[in-house]
């Protein structure tokens, strides 16, 4: 790595009407602690939702409280939450310095997971505006105690100096087509810029 590489950062341009950036450190998004951030976020999501109820607000408060307590390093997390009644999807952007052969590394990022798929995902090539070509797969897993399948979208890109892996938990297979469009758009909004 050169010093120049270390001065680069990931810029993630997201649509704030559908994605809620989750805190990695505090202060976050102008809030010094989880409490005020959770309150403000619940209010913002409820305002853009028809039929927000007291129950749905308290449910979202619980979800955000849990997520605010969990802050893995080298990872940025977003919650797909266009509406308080829409089942949220957790999106994770993981990145580290690029290592090894590009194609091998990207395939491994799409294919390998803690949650074993029922079948290896079909790996497709995607094209992004700023990061160039990458790979995408849809993984389907069987979850204990549940008859259904659990779908996860996985993207892998080499954006020098980083390898970037984006994964988004979708829930049931029926949600895949709609979320593919959303997450494709999200991934297209990622770029590498000089760090401030």
62 vs 124, beta carbon nearer other proteins: 124
49 vs 183: CA distance, rounded Å:
21
27 vs 29: CA distance, rounded Å:
7
45 vs 156, beta carbon nearer other proteins: 156
13 vs 172, beta carbon nearer other proteins: 172
Q: Is 33 in the site for other proteins (CB under 8 A)?
A: no
73 vs 116, beta carbon nearer other proteins: 116
Least distance CB 81 / other proteins (angstroms): 24
Partners of residue 127 on adjacent β-strands: 133
Q: Is 174 in the site for other proteins (CB under 8 A)?
A: yes
Helical H runs in 79-147?
102-111
Q: Are 136 and 151 in contact (CB under 8 A)?
A: no
* Binding to other proteins, residues 125-164 (CB under 8 A): 142, 144, 148-149
Q: Are 147 and 167 in contact (CB under 8 A)?
A: no
**Side-chain half-sphere CA neighbours of 67 within 13 A:** 23
Joined tokens for residue 101: 């052969």
Total residues binding other proteins (CB under 8 A): 17
* Binding to other proteins, residues 72-131 (CB under 8 A): 107-108, 111, 116-123
153 vs 69: CA distance, rounded Å:
24
Least distance CB 33 / other proteins (angstroms): 40
Least distance CB 120 / other proteins (angstroms): 5
Give the strands of the sheet with 132-142, arranged side by side: 19-21, 75-80, 89-97, 162-171, 149-159, 132-142, 123-128
67 vs 153, beta carbon nearer other proteins: 153
Q: Where do contacts with other proteins occur on this chain (CB under 8 A)?
A: 107-108, 111, 116-123, 142, 144, 148-149, 173-174
């Amino acid at each position: 790595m050169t010093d120049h590489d270390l001065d680069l950062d990931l810029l993630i341009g997201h649509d704030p009407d559908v994605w809620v950036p989750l805190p990695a450190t505090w202060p976050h998004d102008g809030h010094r602690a989880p409490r005020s951030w959770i309150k403000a976020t619940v209010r913002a999501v409820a305002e853009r939702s028809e039929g927000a109820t007291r129950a749905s607000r308290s449910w979202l408060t619980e979800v955000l409280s849990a997520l605010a307590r969990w802050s893995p390093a080298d990872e940025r997390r977003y919650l797909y939450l266009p509406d308080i009644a829409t089942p949220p999807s957790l999106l994770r952007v993981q990145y580290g310095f690029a290592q090894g052969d590009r194609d091998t590394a990207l395939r491994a990022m799409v294919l390998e997971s803690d949650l074993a798929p029922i079948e290896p995902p079909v790996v497709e090539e995607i094209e992004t505006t700023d990061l160039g070509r990458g790979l995408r797969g849809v993984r389907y897993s069987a979850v204990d105690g549940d008859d259904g399948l659990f779908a996860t979208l996985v993207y892998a890109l080499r954006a020098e100096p980083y390898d970037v892996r984006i994964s988004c938990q979708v829930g049931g297979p029926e949600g895949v087509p709609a979320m593919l469009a959303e997450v494709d758009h999200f991934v297209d909004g990622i770029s590498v810029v000089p760090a401030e």
